A and B are shown apart, each in its own frame.
Chain A
Amino acid sequence: MTAADNDRSPAMATARDLPGRQDGADTAPPAQEPASAAAAGRLSGLRGVDPLDVGIVIVVLAVIVTGMLTTRFFSLANARAILASTASVGITAIGATVVMIAGSAVSLAVSQTATVVAMIFLATQQFGLAAAIIAGLLSGVAMTAIQGAVIGFWTANPIVLTIAAGFAIGGVATWISGGTTVYPQVTAFNGLNDTPLGLPLAVYVLLAITGVAQWLLRRTTAGRYMYLIGENPRAARAAGLPVGRVTVIAWAIFGACIALTGVFLAAFNTSANASLGGTLSLDAIAAVLAGGTAIGGGKGSAVRTLGGALLISAISDLLLLRGFSTGIQLLVKGLLVAFVVIAVHVRSTRGRR
């Protein structure tokens, strides 16, 4: 889905081969200016300075300035709190970024997947921590990669598919757990709740995952394919790029991230029931969008998402310290996402007029 001319069902466009005339015999030169003016300073590719980042810098400055006027904002304890609250949503958000870049937009099955992984993790505690983690990871990757295969090979609509998957996975979760909470028989996972240097282990994992995802997106063939496929799936198909395979890889990574989040949630809550996943689906999407990754695909990065997640956490924390309710925090979060989304879109279409 290209950003420039959203003349086809912008909500969720899947490329349709229209039985119409596709060859135009008489051609006028393309309507876009080759313009040096457009190129100058308005790059929307993988590098370059652009006005969106300027906007975000302004927001960050506003946060810093307000923070300075707020007691306890610039303290170590508060910094730790911000980082800690970013961790679980952040890890999932990194996975969601990879999938969004690869063109599959969003998944609404995230909460249920995390819940099931948590249940499996707790249920396999007696085989040792490593085995339980592996079991969780494998199940998360499997559940998500299957969705990726259907989306990649059959060009299924991601929203409908993940809603369906969400029902299936949620149903399975309720079935296995019998509708009750899952308690572990053995608690081998206490180590996961450690806080080396005062930061939850999950934060370190988040940072590591961000690094791995960033590297993957930039330095591997699969990552490069994801950017191409996300930007123009039709062109990717016509060029013979392995669209199906790469989509599965992207979703598998997403699955691993969701699984990690599930594991940490399980360790933190020491039990798992159907509502463990909470609003993870939308929170993750919001973090990705706030970082400036476009929902249409083909652009963005893991680092951006980390920034977006941190920004959301920081703003929520700031508002909390200043006495604003959770409601206001949510409201501001929504406005921030709206602002970034609009700015991202305007910037990418401006360069093409």
Chain B
Amino acid sequence: MIRRPAAPPETLVPGVALVVVLITFFCTPLMSGRALTAFDVYNTFQGLAQLGLLTLGLGLTMIAGEFDLSVAGTYVLGGMLAVRTGQSSAILGIVLAVGAGAAIGAVQGGIIARLRIPSLPVTLATYVALLGLTSAMSGGLSVTYTNTGATLWMDRHIAGIFSPPSLITLTGFVIAAAVFGGTRLGREIRAIGGDRRASRVAGVRVERGLVGLFTASGALPALGGALFSYSYAAANPNPGLQPLILATVGCLVGGVSLVGGRGLPAGLLAGALSVALLGQVDAITAIPDYYTELLYAALLGVIVAVDAPGLRRGLDRLKARAATIRTPDRRP
């Protein structure tokens, strides 16, 4: 019998992580000397809005066994496109950004699915190209968003702790969860990631699924980037590797495995929220940056160890050796 722990890692890991981070969050008054306010919660959700859709897009591709590095690029491009074309009409900017993101994603997905190329190098190249494109569009400088009406609207407080971008982000997760759990797509995406050959034999249309997935992983970050740029009133063409790394951390903490087949949109939300909470804890307590960095290192270290087949083999070996010692054989 092959046994697994009672709660699958895709709910256990994000669940535990979120609980731990929440506890840390609520303990921050101990370190900062002031009580938590609604503003802190608002900021946390703003943090979620900043990287949430990016994490969702990346996470969905990881569940299918792929890795879309270009999400960071579509994020940046989406922001730039929205700002440049949405100076008078915010909606137009968002539509164009999302459309461009979806188109880029679809092309990538088509190449990866049809040619059966590993996604990492292709999406890396796309990432570089998109960074370049965005930078070229703005001459390498940040572009200011002059539509102050839209910016103010974006930064509104709703119910004291939300804002339109954070609500849209949360809605995105809810829709993803609904599609994932409520339709056959969720099952098929996980199958594609879990065992592609078996999925094909079972009749899953793998190529179509992949193209659709990459289209989503192009559109979602573009939307996220657009909203963020509006809210921030500027589009930055060069945020560095940080967004990508944090999104990856959010996915891994969210219970998604890089090998594929495991993960849920709810877990991704927990992961993204954990990252946002930690960022806020960082800001409130003004602890040195390296605490957070080392914490992430430890977190990911555990995740890597749990997933490493070689480690499991080593443990099997130890167990077998122990069993042999316990039952010494009789020498002839």
Contact = CB atoms under 8 A, between A and B. Distances in A.
Given A8-B196, A163-B249, A338 B116 contact: no
Contacts of A333: 128-129, 132
B163 interface: no
A160 B131 contact: no
Nearest to A286: B128
Q: Is the interface of A mostly helix, strand, loop or mixed?
A: helix
B288 A174 contact: yes
A179 B126 CA distance: 33
Contact of A105 (B111, B120, B139, B193): B120
Nearest to B197: A7
A325 B305 CA distance: 44
B87 interface: no
Contacts of B293: 167-168, 170-171, 174
Interface residues of B, number: 70
B254 to A, nearest CB: 13
A68 interface: no
A6 interface: yes
A325 to B, nearest CB: 5
A225 to B, nearest CB: 17
A6 B308 contact: no
Contacts of B252: 160
Interface stretch (B31-39, B179-187, B295-303, B324-332): B295-303
Contact of B136 (A170, A282, A327): A327
Nearest to A277: B241
A10 B128 contact: no
Nearest to B138: A327
Contacts of B122: 338, 341-342
B125 A338 contact: yes
B240 interface: yes
A184 interface: no
Contact of B128 (A14, A282, A324, A346): A282
B136 A279 contact: no
Interface string A146-164: 0000100111110111011
A33 B119 CA distance: 28
A337 B309 CA distance: 32
Contacts, number: 221
Contacts of B67: 11-12, 159
Interface residues of A, number: 68
A172 interface: yes
A261 interface: no
Contacts of B309: 14-17, 154-155
Nearest to B112: A10
Contacts of A285: 124
B119 A335 contact: no
Interface string A1-41: 10001111111111111110000000000000000000000
B161 interface: no
Interface in B58-105: 61-62, 65-67
B124 A345 contact: no
B118 A10 contact: yes
Contacts of A107: none
Contact of A327 (B125, B139, B301): B139
A213 interface: no
Contacts of A150: 304, 308
A296 B129 contact: no
B133 interface: yes
Given A9-B193, A289-B121, A328 B294 contact: no
B251 to A, nearest CB: 10
Contact of B135 (A17, A108, A326, A337): A326
A130 interface: no
Interface in A103-157: 105-106, 108, 111, 150, 153-157
B118 A342 contact: no
A80 B115 CA distance: 39
Interface in B276-322: 288-291, 293-294, 296-297, 299-301, 303-305, 307-311, 313-314
A182 interface: no
A329 B133 CA distance: 9
Given A330-B129, A335-B129, A153 B118 contact: no
Interface string B144-178: 00000000000000000000000000000000000
B121 A10 contact: no
A160 B121 contact: no
B7 interface: no
B117 interface: yes
Nearest to A156: B308
B116 A9 contact: no
Given A105-B120, A171-B294, A337-B121, A8 B197 contact: yes
Contacts of B124: 282, 285-286, 289, 337
A295 interface: yes
Interface in A321-353: 324-335, 337-338, 341-342, 345-346, 349
Interface of A: 1, 5-19, 105-106, 108, 111, 150, 153-157, 159-161, 163-168, 170-172, 174-175, 179, 279, 281-282, 285-286, 289, 295-296, 324-335, 337-338, 341-342, 345-346, 349
Given A286-B128, A331-B132, 14 more contacts: A6-B116, A7-B196, A9-B66, A12-B258, A13-B259, A108-B245, A155-B310, A171-B294, A295-B120, A295-B121, A334-B125, A334-B129, A334-B130, A334-B131
15 contacts: A5-B116, A6-B118, A9-B193, A9-B196, A156-B310, A160-B303, A170-B290, A171-B297, A295-B118, A328-B136, A329-B132, A330-B129, A338-B122, A338-B129, A342-B117
Top 3 A-B pairs, shortest CB-CB distance: A334-B129, A330-B132, A327-B136
